[in-house]
Amino acid sequence: MKVNKITALRLMLSITMIIGLASCSKKSSSKNSSRATGWNVDRKKASDGKKQIAGPGLVFVEGGTFTMGKVQDDVMHDWNNTPTQQHVQSFYMDETEVTNFMYLEYLDWLKSVFPPSEDNYKHIYEGASPDTLVWRNRLGYNETMTNNYLRHPSYADYPVVGVNWIQAQEFSKWRTNRVNEAILEKNGYLKKNAKTDEVDAESVFDTETYINSPTSSYGGKNETVVLKKSNGRQAKGAEQKNVYAQRSSGIILPEYRLPTEAEWEYAAAADVGQREYNIYKGQKKYPWSGSYTRSGKRQNRGDQLANFKQGNGDYGGIAGWSDDGADITNAVKKYPANDFGLYDMAGNVAEWVADVYRPIVDKEANDFNYFRGNRYTKNKIGEDGKVEIVTLETMKKDTLSNGKIIVRSFPGEIAQVPVDENETYLRQNFDKSNNINYRDGDKQSSIYYDFGSSETDNLKEDKAMYNSPKHNVTTDSLGLMVRKYDKSSKRTTLINDDVRVYKGGSWRDRAYWLDPAQRRYFPQDMATDYIGFRCAMSRVGPKAEKRKSARN
């Protein structure tokens, strides 16, 4: 009887082990099966490039909540900084401002691809060039900077100035394409050295064109865009397959762009340095800890922590011991970085951000990734049913209010048109292409708006929410430029859809403007000697770079 019990126990153990092994085998065999359909799928391919890499020059900024618009001092009392609680998604930002050297790389590329000596291209290089005359002053001698600041090697690592908001946007687009072009070449999707050997005015690489119509890249030069096997190796002859890099490949980076105002302020404040568990231990007045502009550290005690104007006629202290080491701008990385590792988020030069200016941030409308300036577009489809590529004949040129001509769309790009009813019909989140004036500048936000009245659609210009001057530039029959200056005495504001926010103090500003929450605006088509810019890039994937653990 005892023997039978032992035998039965052994049998049961054997059955359990067999079931366990079968279960493990089943799990192993189903490792690549879809949880949706049960079909075998290539999960390795889906997980390749799972973690986004930081583009050249960028630093990771982990997102979070913060109080936007909270300033320590508000001597202006202009209702321009109403504190609002906002949340910003994680993103990347340039470690420093864009320097003269970086911008000259852009100009040299434009000059080689679109020679300004040819009539077709003469506006491209000129339109992208910074305005060096911003250094001139009626009662000051600054010709040295006018002639040397942009190109002299002594200023190579200084922030570029004289760049208007539109030029900063165009630089960001160019940078996106050059970075992704290099990444695709490195990964074997583009012919080696195509970015230099195959490029001319009619065959330029564009990221969106490559994604939407790979064979249209480089003007349709098929030998430049490499076809690859599905295993990632370059295909040859009969083995060629239409396998191109796509967004799902995980190697194409999102676009470089100007940061939003919320992103810039969050990154500049760097309140993460004041964090204790899930609260901030107060809010810093400047991007560094403390309420003073001078360093308290023993090795550099008394030195200024930013480049700014310290008083009337005092831009850098007395000779022999300079307070901030500069009189105009200074080379990047000359002052300590903030808690995100970003340099010059106060002083040196103020910086353009993406937002159209309005006096109040509308937290009731949105408190997540706040941004005013959305103009939704879509790819233009030609008569052949394919995306329409911009050519030399269809390049879009804008004449600015000051008469300067800037090219806004280049050969090789996909032509864009505003979204229409096909995209907006019965949507709750947006109902038109241009959303700049939403709740602050549209007809409904005017005090003259009469809901249901037939006359509302014809609201007179002088009764609009923001009745600003409207300067006009046209060309006469002889091709000469005609500038019409708005001399109306009925204008009530300088705010319109073409003024952009700029943030941070500069070498020309007092310490008051170093507070990250301070905000000002300037026409998007004008430049100064104290406004520069830096780029940002959206984060794709998880909020944090690494798993967090509680601090004890």
Q: What is the pLDDT of residues 345-365, one digit of tens each?
A: 999 999 999 999 999 999 999
pLDDT digits (tens, 9 = 90+) for 451-470: 766 555 556 766 788 989 98
- Dist. CA 194–CA 176, nearest whole Å: 16
- Dist. CA 436–CA 445, nearest whole Å: 12
- Dist. CA 279–CA 151, nearest whole Å: 46
Cβ-contact 437, 465 below 8 angstroms: yes
**pLDDT of the residue at 139:** 96
**pLDDT of the residue at 390:** 93
Looking at every residue in the chain, the average pLDDT score rounds to 87
H/E stretch holding 419: none
Joined tokens for residue 226: 């490499």
Instruction: For residues 468 and 508, state if they share a domain.
Output: no
pLDDT digits (tens, 9 = 90+) for 481-502: 788 888 888 888 999 999 999 9
pTM, full prediction: 0.90
Instruction: For residues 366 and 278, state if they share a domain.
Output: yes
pLDDT band for position 23 (cuts 50, 70, 90): low
For 483, the domain range is 437-496
Instruction: For residues 462 and 538, state if they share a domain.
Output: no
Residue 550 in this model has a pLDDT that exceeds 70: no
Instruction: For residues 453 and 540, state if they share a domain.
Output: no
Instruction: For residues 356 and 276, state if they share a domain.
Output: yes
Work out the average pLDDT over 411-418: 94
Cβ-contact 159, 332 below 8 angstroms: yes
| Any domain includes 401 | no
What CATH number did the domain enclosing 156 receive?
Answer: 3.90.1580.10
**pLDDT of the residue at 36:** 86
Instruction: For residues 293 and 339, state if they share a domain.
Output: yes
Instruction: For residues 444 and 341, state if they share a domain.
Output: no
Instruction: For residues 463 and 347, state if they share a domain.
Output: no
Tell me the HSE value of 188 on the side-chain side, using a 13 A CA sphere: 12
Instruction: For residues 454 and 537, state if they share a domain.
Output: no
Measured CA distances, 233 to 104, 194, 198, 251 (Å): 36, 18, 22, 16
- Dist. CA 492–CA 529, nearest whole Å: 27
Instruction: For residues 478 and 525, state if they share a domain.
Output: no
| Any domain includes 20 | no
Count of domains forming the chain? 2
**pLDDT of the residue at 238:** 45
Instruction: Give the residue with greater pLDDT, 530 vs 51.
Output: 530
Beta strands in 301-390 (DSSP E): 350-356, 377-379
CB burial of residue 156 (10 Å; 0-12, 13-18, 19+): middle
- Dist. CA 397–CA 127, nearest whole Å: 10
Instruction: Give the residue with greater pLDDT, 219 vs 478.
Output: 219
Instruction: Give the residue with greater pLDDT, 280 vs 366.
Output: 366
CA dihedral 177, 178, 183, 188 (to 10 degrees): 90
Instruction: For residues 487 and 507, state if they share a domain.
Output: no
